[in-house]
Chain A
Amino acid sequence: MNKKMSRRGAFSAITKGLLVGAGMAQTACSLTSDENDRTDSQMKWEEYFKKNYRLMTDPEKSSTVQRLTSLYERRTGKHVNIGTEGAEENVLYGYAFNISKCKGYMDCVNACVKENNQDRSTQMQYIRIHEIENGQINFEGADDSFYHEVPAAGHFYLGTQCYHCENPPCVDVCPVGATWQEEDGIVVIDYDWCIGCRYCMAACPYDGRRFNWKKPEVPEPEVNLVQHYLGNRLRKKGVMEKCTFCIQRSRKGKNPACVEACPTGARTFGNLLDPKSQIRWVLENKKVFRLKEDLGTEPKFWYYMD
């Protein structure tokens, strides 16, 4: 009870005018839509008050998907397919990156942006490719925003993204439980539950998370319409997002877009619990290592050299 009172106290204090009009614009009861469509605002209202995805029952999941699809259809006239496939049994995803093969072509980055509907206006990218001088694995001299012909002489390339840690610090710190680890090891975010405090961003030792500092923009013809609720569906302003191992693809047995796009074969993805998978072959036959192992996060992302 105390809790409730105090929140109210806090809010009334802060909001005295601050949120008037402004905060409302974000809420479902916003009057910004030009047509007086009652169903539209009704749906937005229901969207605003829906639960954390983890607590939703199957019917609740399908009704939010229905709302989201129909809202999108009303806006653009296009049908979007938002999946809710859950994790399959005996599946734990892992990823390996061959440092010898990566040449810094950035095809993975571009494929990722297209596949996952990332904001084009701020050029959000989940993957960072670091250009490092030969003779060290030291990020102090690394450059992750190079712009020249690759591969540059005397340098090698190493890609980082969300490592889907077995012990993810980002998940622990989230005050509202908007991010969690699925049974198949994928760390996901409920974009509609995230309040945008960015504590997870501070907690991630791998620069794996991104924030929507503005309303994300994806040109309408470029929107990938094959989506997943926890994956590449369209995000809004003020929420976190990150690599999901392309959950909309991987849960259908496909490789993530970055793996598919890599022209040199530097990227390997697969089921760690399947002894016949390619990722298992890499882990068993190559000398692999992980970054910042001292932090105890147990990334499911390994590096190796030929």
Chain B
Amino acid sequence: MKQVKIFGRFVKDGIRVATHGNTTYHIWMGTLTLLMLAATYAYSIQIQEGLIVTGMNDRISWGLYISNFTFLVGVAAAAVMLILPTYILKDVDFKQAVLIGEGLAVAALLMCLAFVVIDLGGPARAWHLIPVIGYFNFPNSLLAWDVIVLNGYLILNVTIPFYILFCHYKGIEPKKSIYLPGVFLSVFWAVGIHLVTAFLYAGLPARPFWNSSLLGPRFLASAFAAGPALIILILGFVRKHSDFKVSDNALQKIALIVTVAAQINLVMLFSELFKEFYAPTHHSQSATYLFFGLEGKGSLVPWIWTGITFNVIATIMLTVHFIRGNFRLLKLACGLLFVGIWIEKGLGLIVPGFIPGPWGKVVEYSPSWIEILITLGVWAFGAFVFTALAKVTIAIETGKLRYKNASEMLAS
């Protein structure tokens, strides 16, 4: 009974911390709420009219939603790059960062699930996916696998930090025997979510652009570059604007992870480009469309070259020690890398899979305003969830939020 009472207090305190802050905080959360509301309106139109209000059609049947979904699975998976050193290699430097990383994973996963549901033609029938009461085509469908791994990873990333934070809230040390098994599982699970998502595409011989054995490894490399890059940006912000201590050493270690992952990602990119363009076959047409345009159509050409340029510049910057060591330049490099990978692994990966079509038709795709608005809304939703989670986490980890003195803290 006492635990339930403490839990009730924990939730109440958490909500109070998440809803209180300075003006900037309220402006930030207010803007996000506004975006979410706008997206809700856009989504209501989509529900009413159908997916016809998007830029998608029978020729290009996946677009901005699935692109963002794919990218965000990578961001979610990247939490493992903090979990592994903290809990398993017992690197103290990462200790503060890891809870933030897990919060980011939760937000990213919720966004993933949102994007998938928003992309459905019949969201009201989504219950058909629930095993037993629905019809779950497991293990045949990779999408069924994805449902399992994403939800499983979400549970892991909610429960582990919750347990640790709840213990800290009560002022006791969390027991390793309770959370370590989950931590070990989540390390493998993180690799799993991204491989499964890659296999979802790689398993389609109908789309030669995706049907590559390199897709899985490349997904991992780009995820372990983009995800931790975002974490660096967030930690940089957090330590500047709160009492949360993140050492330079920790940031530099994460930067090293980003650097290596970005380098490997580039090596894989070049090896893909070599294969597609040294001896181009019929199957290289999608890549030709993406990088150079096909039949006079090439709306993605400037887009992908922007992404590649960002990737290359960021990787060079990260590789040079004194640039990586300079926190300002590091942030710039991380920002470039994050956007570069979002371009390359989002629209740059999904759309060319459909171009040319199975019978050679080149039809281009551009997202509609409704699609863009809904996408922005989902990102705002992710940012909202993450901000709230991070604020509570920081309050607990800096010792400001404790079960005993919680009421005093709020009074002051």
| B partners with A | yes
Q: Which of A101-109, A189-197, A222-230, A265-273 contacts B (4 or more CB under 8 A)?
A: A189-197
Q: Which 8 A-B pairs have the closest CB atoms?
A: A196-B121, A238-B121, A6-B151, A205-B206, A22-B47, A139-B360, A175-B143, A26-B124
Are B358 and A238 neighbours in the complex by a CB distance under 8 Å? no
Q: Which of A79-87, A211-219, A256-264 contacts B (4 or more CB under 8 A)?
A: A211-219
The main secondary structure of chain B at its interface with chain A is helix
Q: Given contacts A13-B110, A21-B44, A195-B122, is CB(A213)–CB(B51) below 8 Å?
A: yes
B residues near A, CB below 8 A? 36-37, 39-40, 43-44, 47-52, 56-58, 61-62, 110, 113-114, 116-126, 128-131, 134-137, 140-144, 147-148, 151-152, 154-155, 158, 200, 203-207, 282, 285, 353-354, 356-361, 381, 385
What 1/0 flags go to A161-197 for Cβ under 8 Å of B? 0000000010011111110000000000000111111
- 8 extra interface residue pairs, beta carbon distance < 8 Å, beyond A25-B48, A213-B58: A6-B155, A18-B39, A26-B125, A128-B359, A169-B206, A195-B128, A198-B62, A213-B51
B126 to chain A, nearest CB (A): 6
Are B141 and A172 neighbours in the complex by a CB distance under 8 Å? yes
A3 interface hit (Cβ, 8 Å): yes
Q: Given contacts A21-B44, A175-B141, is CB(A193)–CB(B125) below 8 Å?
A: yes
Count of chain A to chain B residue pairs whose CB atoms are closer than 8 Å in the complex? 207
Are B205 and A295 neighbours in the complex by a CB distance under 8 Å? yes
- A193 to chain B: which residues have CB within 8 Å? 125, 128, 135
Are B61 and A202 neighbours in the complex by a CB distance under 8 Å? yes
Determine which of B137, B158, B356, B357 lies in contact with A175 in the assembled complex, contact meaning CB atoms within 8 Å. Answer: B137
A5 interface hit (Cβ, 8 Å): yes
- B204 to chain A: which residues have CB within 8 Å? 169, 173, 202-203
How far does the alpha carbon of A112 sit from the alpha carbon of B404 in the complex, in Å?
73
A residues near B, CB below 8 A? 2-7, 9-11, 13-14, 17-19, 21-27, 48, 52, 54-55, 122, 124, 128, 130, 138-142, 144-145, 160, 169, 172-178, 192-199, 201-207, 210-215, 236-240, 295-296
Could you give 23 example pairs across A and B, Cβ below 8 Å?
A6-B151, A6-B154, A10-B113, A13-B381, A14-B117, A17-B37, A25-B48, A26-B124, A128-B359, A139-B360, A145-B361, A160-B359, A173-B140, A175-B129, A175-B144, A176-B135, A176-B136, A199-B143, A202-B206, A203-B204, A207-B359, A212-B50, A236-B122
B287 to chain A, nearest CB (A): 15
Determine which of B47, B136, B141, B154 lies in contact with A173 in the assembled complex, contact meaning CB atoms within 8 Å. Answer: B141
Determine which of B47, B123, B356 lies in contact with A140 in the assembled complex, contact meaning CB atoms within 8 Å. Answer: B356
How far does the alpha carbon of A27 sit from the alpha carbon of B122 in the complex, in Å?
10
Are B141 and A194 neighbours in the complex by a CB distance under 8 Å? no
Are A202 and B358 neighbours in the complex by a CB distance under 8 Å? no
- A17 to chain B: which residues have CB within 8 Å? 36-37, 40
Are A196 and B110 neighbours in the complex by a CB distance under 8 Å? no
Are B147 and A175 neighbours in the complex by a CB distance under 8 Å? yes
